[in-house]
Amino acid sequence: MTACTMESTEAALLGLSSAANSGDSTDRSLRVLAEFVERITEKGVDGIVKEYRRLDNFYDTAATYEAFRANMPKNRYSDVVCTDSTRVKLKLGEEGYGDYIHANHVTSPLLTTKFICTQGPLQSTIHDFWRMIFQERIESILMLCKPCEDGRPKCSIYWPESIGETTSFDTVVVKNTGEDVDEFATTTSIMVELNPAYGMGLGCLIEALNASKAFKVSIKQPTPLADPVLGAKKVRLPDSFIKYFIFLFKIARELRCARAQCIQTEVQYLYIHRVMIENALLHINLNESTRTTGQRFLKEYDDKMRK
């Protein structure tokens, strides 16, 4: 348990950026990928599980959870907290519905994209969810669970399921405008706009209209048994992506600073490593020795998961 700090990570990232700009970034990328694959394979599944247990004992000792405790009916789980310092504060409809949602902003010098982590909406918090989507101008929603898993509810169906169907809330209107299904994911296109009947204050209304009255958002759900990297073509990985391989454990810790208890099980942590190895093996110039090493880890992973 410790207080969160990013100083050492920023310093290390600065060193990586300098090296990447030194003219040999492609060679360095290949070396980093090869070293990552070798290190993870040497560590093995059991070693990664031990590393996860270190991560699982990490908590930000400076964090507070007052809003979480004050809004227990809006929390899916009583033991999965929401950090005050990074929580999303809802302004749209705040006067009538409050500012709380179990969601946190996640930013890091190691991440090129800002994003929000949130719980699967409860039936009673679907309105809050869409208030957040509209307020934060979210363009993509990535579902990491199914509505029901192993007979247990994980997430309410928060979007209109039929194409052309509209769901109206007091503050926003949500419409299903289309759906695309492939072997990896089902992508639902959604139009979100202010509900014309919503009685906002003039200042809030002008602010919302200036930001955009309506916009599209896509919801991606994994299709059954789909692996996000199977069947992908070989690619060149950009330097900005390489740092994820170097700082994987650091990134996991920083995620926990922003979103408490993020990466909840050792299986999830193992799967992250599997996906990273898969992506490393997609690099077009990776040598065969490294590919063989990576395949050895994937086999060990698959064998363990079957037990």
Q: Is 176 helix (H, G, I), strand (E, B) or coil?
A: strand
The residues, any chain, with a CB within 8 Å of residue 39's CB and separated by 6 or more, are none
pTM for the model stands at: 0.75
pLDDT value for 29:
73
Residue holding tokens 């519905």?
97
The most confident of the ranges 3-7, 65-69, 184-188, 241-245 is 65-69
Mean pLDDT, rounded, for 111-118? 84
Instruction: Give me the architecture of the 66-222 domain, per CATH.
Output: Alpha-Beta Complex (3.90)
Question: How far does the chain reach from its first CA to its final CA, in angstroms?
Answer: 32
Q: Are 83 and 65 in contact (CB under 8 A)?
A: yes
Q: Which residues pair with 180 in a beta bridge?
A: 187
Q: Which residue has the higher pLDDT, 208 or 70?
A: 70
Task: Provide the residue ranges of all domains of the chain, joining segments of one domain with +.
Answer: 7-59+229-306, 66-222
The angle formed by the CA atoms of residues 298, 228 and 146, to the nearest 5 degrees, is 110
